[in-house]
Amino acid sequence: MLRPLNDNVVLQKEKKETKTASGIILTQKEEETEYAKVIAVGVGSKDEAGNLVPVDLKVGDRVVYKSYSPTKIKIDDEEYLIVAAKDILAVLE
């Protein structure tokens, strides 16, 4: 598994449903989601005084991130995203 360094976070995109709850198959290509699940969190970064500032996320959080910022990596046919904590915009609750 990936262990992010500093204030980086590993995300896994959520799979989109290809059919509705009533069974209708969606054939139109929709815009790619910018929602993902947090898989791993780095320890944080140091502030100007040298104090460690932890990342305010935990494994399992569902987040919204900036679509242009992640680095994509594929491991065992699974795609993961590595993104800086500052590029995560919100946690879905």
Task: Give Cα 89 to chain centroid, integer Å.
Answer: 10
DSSP 25: B
Mind listing the pLDDT tens digit for each residue in 71-88?
Answer: 999 999 999 999 999 999
pTM for the model stands at 0.78
Mind listing the pLDDT tens digit for each residue in 45-70?
Answer: 999 999 999 999 999 999 999 988 89
Write the single-letter amino acid at 11. Answer: L
Distance CA 44, CA 41 (A): 8
- Of 33, 32, 87, whose CA–CA distance to 57 is shortest? 87
3-class state of residue 21 by DSSP: coil
